[in-house]
Amino acid sequence: MTRAAFAAYRLAGVVGYPFLKPYVGWRVARGKEDRRRLKERYGIAGMTRPEPGPLVWIHAASVGESAAVAPLVRAIAADGLGVVMTTGTTTSARFVEERLAECAIHQYVPLDVRPAVRRFLDHWRPDLAIVAESEIWPLTIHELSARRIPQILVNARLSDRSFQRWKGKPRLAEALFENFAQVVAQSDIDAERFRLLGAPAVTLAGNLKADADPLPADRALLQQLEAAIGQRPRFAAISTHPGEEEIVAEVHARLKGRHEGLLTILVPRHVERGAAIARMLAGKGLVVKRRSLDELPDQGTDVYLGDTMGELGVYLRLSEIAFIGKSITGQGGQNPIEAAMLSTGILTGRYVQNFRDSYQRLLRNGGARLVRDTDTLAAQLDGLLLDPMQRMAMAGAALRSVGEMRGALDRTLLALDPFVHPLRLSVSLERRGRVVAGR
């Protein structure tokens, strides 16, 4: 059955390969692909492999995962190892090129079809493959295993939905997960899930995002917005999903009469929805300014819509309190560590199972509070806007919670050492040989 499933997956890749070009073209039209570098998605390298010496391939799907593994990338490169880092989005590509260019070569991850994966591996010849979080690509896993390249999953997590899906296909799950030489899990629950699905070696390290750098912010833009907003009371609603923007709009309408000059900073998870959200807000009688149109809030602005990518660090620095979405009308929640790291108190709905451990600590310490609906969100915000001491206490508790979560990087490096040390030794011997040859 497992062999048949793999064969069917490979066959689907072969049959579907001619149709990938229109699909990738559609993604280009939506701004999800870099037109100049499309060949990389087909495994055709955009740069040469650094020679000589071992090379580590590190993959992170998007910006959040890239930020989480950035300290790990720097640590591996500091050992003298070459690093090629792949991502799957244009924003994560910019992140890597801006913040890791000195220690890693960026490429877009190849599509999970045999020709693309084989071209990629033939060119880069990695000695070790490290994948962040929950990127499971069957054909890539199979090709790495066939070449006897160790595969390691770091900062690994499995959502409730993903775990149930894999648990329903136990033989297929085991056939995939048994290929990982090491799984370094975020939490006890994640670790146990990977063991149950057949991963042979699992360790617990915690969440690498707690050891990452704070989100960056364009200083000039931040100062410009701070000057435009002045001393107005404000709150942020970030990473919102459909249905939650309507809740935030209703909360603003209820509170604006109680808090003169109230400004809501609304940052949807998917910025391409910006125009539709702006129309909805205007339909409710709210005055909206949009960052994507280079607009600034004025004294008459109700909602400042942060419909841009890569500027969350700016928006979070503008408010002491933030509601984090995908938690009331959505399912699973969004990462709260980025907000907590910037001393932001957090309000969240109940559906945060994908970040269960982080939220449990934040709630226990008082850095986060639960809300159920429009009424409870409005009530919590009303109290916090009236009481700066409460806001300060929440912000401090959020930052303290991040401090308690730190240490995952050291534990991850320890788990990786049996695989990295031989490569490090190879570099050392090679350098010694060059010194001897030069005498």
Q: Residue 238: phi, psi to the nearest 5?
A: -120, 155
Q: Residue 156: phi, psi to the nearest 5?
A: -75, 140
Q: Residue 128: phi, psi to the nearest 5?
A: -155, 140
The answer to whether the beta carbons of residues 316 and 344 sit under 8 Å apart is yes
Among 33, 40, 51, 65, which one carries the catalytic annotation? Answer: 65
Q: What is the DSSP-derived secondary structure letter of residue 215?
A: P
User: How far apart (Å, rounded) are the C-alpha atoms in residues 88 and 73?
Assistant: 17
What radius of gyration do the chain's Cα atoms show?
23
Question: Hunting for tokens 């990982």 — which residue is that?
Answer: 180
User: How far apart (Å, rounded) are the C-alpha atoms in residues 385 and 374?
Assistant: 16
- Structure tokens that stand for 102 in this block: 């000195």
User: How far apart (Å, rounded) are the C-alpha atoms in residues 211 and 23?
Assistant: 37
Nearest to 296, CA basis, from 309, 287, 285, 286: 287
65 has catalytic annotation: yes
- Structure tokens that stand for 40 in this block: 């990389």
User: How far apart (Å, rounded) are the C-alpha atoms in residues 77 and 102?
Assistant: 9
The answer to whether the beta carbons of residues 304 and 374 sit under 8 Å apart is no
Q: Residue 80: phi, psi to the nearest 5?
A: 90, 10
Q: What is the DSSP-derived secondary structure letter of residue 109?
A: P
CA distances from residue 107 to 74, 77, 84 in whole angstroms, order as listed: 17, 16, 7
Nearest to 380, CA basis, from 188, 241, 197, 247: 247
3-state secondary structure string, 120-173?
HHHHHCCCEEEEECCCCCHHHHHHHHHCCCCEEEEEECCCHHHHHHHHCCHHHH
Sign of CA dihedral 407, 317, 346, 68: negative
User: How far apart (Å, rounded) are the C-alpha atoms in residues 6 and 150?
Assistant: 20
Active site residues: 65
